[in-house]
Structure 1
């Protein structure tokens, strides 16, 4: 007897409900870690592109140009296979023969983070350039320290201006996690493909994966919208 749709999505030992949920959790974790790592790269890249030294600006420009222009899947391949070759060479030199591969989750997070950081660089840079210079000059004239100026004026307003762009970048990072299946990470798309191959129901499981991506994206997007509205309240008043 051919199992029905509810049997295939059951959370029991014969169903695929639990593996799909676990894979969705890995997708969210990879996207979130990659996005947060990208925030570090983005802030660093924005600082480079806003620096006074031309050679620092050149480094920042090279970073955004390369990682915004190269396909994301190629970045994943380069870091996974390139990193594994470097690790293998180091281990073989140390007297440990064989092939060593890097953890797919770590490499996936790093690849998503460095690509996301290239886009976040432009978001933070553009947001900083929108700041009211009068406020910064007034705070400096009152004797406010650089750290206090950053915490009370620069950081909150830069985040407020950058948040709409960051929301779009987050959605891109979430979708980019589907590329990590090529390096063996069992995220949502790979798990859906495994289920589709085992049950010969590709339409069902790929539709379920699409729906889960949509739900995750909508829910996280709503959280970002609430955060954007919260940060905008003091200026609306």
Structure 2
């Protein structure tokens, strides 16, 4: 049995590629923000703790769709003024850039808590051992804390990435031509909503399976040389 997409097949594949690009870029931004947020919340510095806590609480308290709309429409005047100041007419924030910023911001807020939990799960004796060996705090962080933190945080980050992959559909409301946007266009032209939305669902499911497979191998690699209790 074949599914007639009335010539929209290539457009849906292009939308699938755009979805992957958006998810990966938002992931990179979110990982950086999440790590910075976690380091701030676990810092002995009170202002940094407040800053990290405010970021994670504020962003998680607002729906992702609202962040997409706020960032896209709320920065129009700001970017236009910046363009005028730099003598760059027509400067504007693209839908892709707005989507990356919004989704990366949201992913980072949730990743902050994942990283924070992973950092707190590392025994304090490991840090003390590093100090006893004369390592600087920077080297303790890079050589002792971060490698262990990644191993502990990977399962949680994997779940967040699955959610991020599906949240890319929200960016269709500002015109980015990813899977859902092309599916909606196909529905409008052909009047066959079930067909196009089912194909979109299959595409998202395929991307999820690929991401799960990648996370499985990443977790196995991160766990090399680690012996679980009872083994």
Fold equivalence (TM over 0.5): yes
Distance 1:93 1:136 in 2: 48
Question: After superposition, where does 1:14-93 map in structure 2 within 5 Å?
Answer: 15-91=7-83
Q: Distance in 1 between matches of 2:144 and 2:152?
A: 12
| Residues 18-27 or 129-138, more deviating | 129-138
For residue 144 of structure 1, report the CA deviation from its aligned partner.
3.1
Cα shift at 1:92 = 5.2
Gapped regions of structure 2 (runs ≥ 5):
none
* Equivalent in the alignment of 2:147: 156
Alpha-carbon distance in structure 1 between the residues aligned to 2:199 and 2:25? 24
User: Superposition pairs for residues 159-178 of structure 1, below 5 Å?
Assistant: 159-178=150-169
What is the correspondence of 1:194-213 to structure 2 with a 5 Å cutoff? 194-213=185-204
- Residue 176 of structure 2 is matched in structure 1 by 185
Q: Distance in 1 between matches of 2:36 and 2:67?
A: 20
3-state secondary structure, aligned to 1:236: coil
Counterpart in the other structure of 1:11: none
Per-residue deviation, residues 84-140 of structure 1 (Å, max 9, x unmatched): 12122344567788x764111011001000010000101111100000222222232
How many residue pairs were aligned?
A: 228
Whole-Å separation in 1 of the counterparts to 2:179 and 2:227: 40
TM-score (norm 1): 0.89
d(CA) in 1 for partners of 2:162 and 2:45? 33
CA RMSD of aligned residues (A): 2.0
Cα 1:22–1:52 change in 2 (3 A) is same
CA deviations on 1:45-83 (whole Å, 9 max, x unpaired) are 111111212121111111001100101111011111111
Aligned equivalents of 2:61 and 2:2: distance in 1? 42
Q: 1:156–1:6: structure 2 CA closer, same or farther, 3 Å change rule?
A: same
CA distance in 1: counterparts of 2:83 and 2:216, whole angstroms: 47
For CA contacts below 8 A with separation 6 or more, give which structure has more relative contact order.
2
Aligned twin of 1:121: 112
Matched residue SS, 1:51: coil
With 53-62 and 178-187 compared, the bigger mean Cα shift is at 53-62
> In structure 1, how many angstroms separate the alpha carbons of the residues matched to 2:53 and 2:39?
11
1:219 to partner: Cα distance: 1.1
Q: CA deviation at 1:145?
A: 3.9
Are the aligned partners of 1:84 and 1:100 in contact in 2 as well (CA < 8 Å)?
no
Q: Which residue is 1:235 aligned to?
A: 226
